[in-house]
């Protein structure tokens, strides 16, 4: 599905809030914007809708898969607070992309811990296709990991 996750990669990560260092590169992954993925997100989720370019819903999906690889799982009980996407030139279906993920920020506010992931999708020529940020309420906070 565009970016394969090996069966050995855990579903849920044990990475605690204290592990994150702002600016740190968490990982990179290569993916393909394949027709199955693109068509399943061009209309109602899961209904095949033909499309020539990657619809916006493709990017959160590939980002989450890349984040799971980078963190060896996704946070158990994490909550999405905000999602930002800046679009470059549309990506044709079949395009190869490289996804890089950094720690954009990590902070505590009103008793909740937030981790911001900053990510980029670059095409095969190295051009920026999409940049974005995901703000997540992290399950644990400072000193709890």
Partner 1 sequence: MSDAPLPAVEEPIDQELIDAYADLAGDYNPLHVDPEAAARSEFGGTIAHGPVGLQAFFRSLVAWSGGAAPPAGTEVRATFLRPVRPGDTISCHERERTAGGERLEIAAECVNQDAATVIAVRAAVPAAAQ
Residues that bind partner 1 (CB under 8 A): 1, 5, 11-12, 37, 40-46, 51-57, 60-61, 64-65, 68, 74-91
Answer whether 135's CB lies under 8 Å from 82's CB: yes
Q: Please tell me whether residue 82 adopts helix, strand or coil conformation.
A: strand
Q: CA-CA distance, 85 to 118, in Å (whole number)? A: 10
Residue closer to partner 1 (CB basis): 22 or 79:
79
Q: CA-CA distance, 50 to 47, in Å (whole number)? A: 10
Residue closer to partner 1 (CB basis): 90 or 145:
90
Kindly state the smallest distance separating residue 40's Cβ from partner 1, in Å. Answer: 7
Kindly state the smallest distance separating residue 19's Cβ from partner 1, in Å. Answer: 18
Residue closer to partner 1 (CB basis): 21 or 47:
47
Q: CA-CA distance, 5 to 130, in Å (whole number)? A: 22
Q: Which residues of 124-134 are buried (b: 16+ CB within 10 A; e: fewer)?
A: eeeeebbbbbb
Residue closer to partner 1 (CB basis): 89 or 96:
89
Candidates 4, 24, 36, 42; CA nearest to 100 is 24
Residue closer to partner 1 (CB basis): 16 or 88:
88
Kindly state the smallest distance separating residue 133's Cβ from partner 1, in Å. Answer: 9
Kindly state the smallest distance separating residue 53's Cβ from partner 1, in Å. Answer: 4
Kindly state the smallest distance separating residue 12's Cβ from partner 1, in Å. Answer: 7
């Amino acid at each position: 599905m565009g970016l394969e996750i090996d069966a050995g990669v855990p579903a849920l990560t044990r990475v605690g809030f204290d592990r994150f260092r702002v600016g740190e590169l968490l990982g990179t992954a290569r993916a393909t914007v394949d027709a199955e993925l693109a068509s399943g997100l061009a209309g109602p989720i899961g209904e095949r809708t033909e499309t020539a370019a990657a619809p916006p819903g493709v990017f959160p999906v590939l980002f989450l898969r890349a984040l799971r690889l980078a963190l060896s799982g996704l946070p158990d009980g994490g909550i999405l607070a905000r999602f930002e996407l800046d679009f470059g030139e549309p990506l044709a279906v079949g395009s190869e992309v490289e996804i890089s993920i950094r720690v954009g920020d990590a902070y505590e506010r009103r008793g909740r811990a937030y981790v911001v992931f900053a990510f980029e999708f670059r095409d095969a020529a190295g051009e920026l296709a999409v940049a974005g940020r995901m703000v997540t309420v992290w399950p644990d906070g400072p000193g709890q990991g």
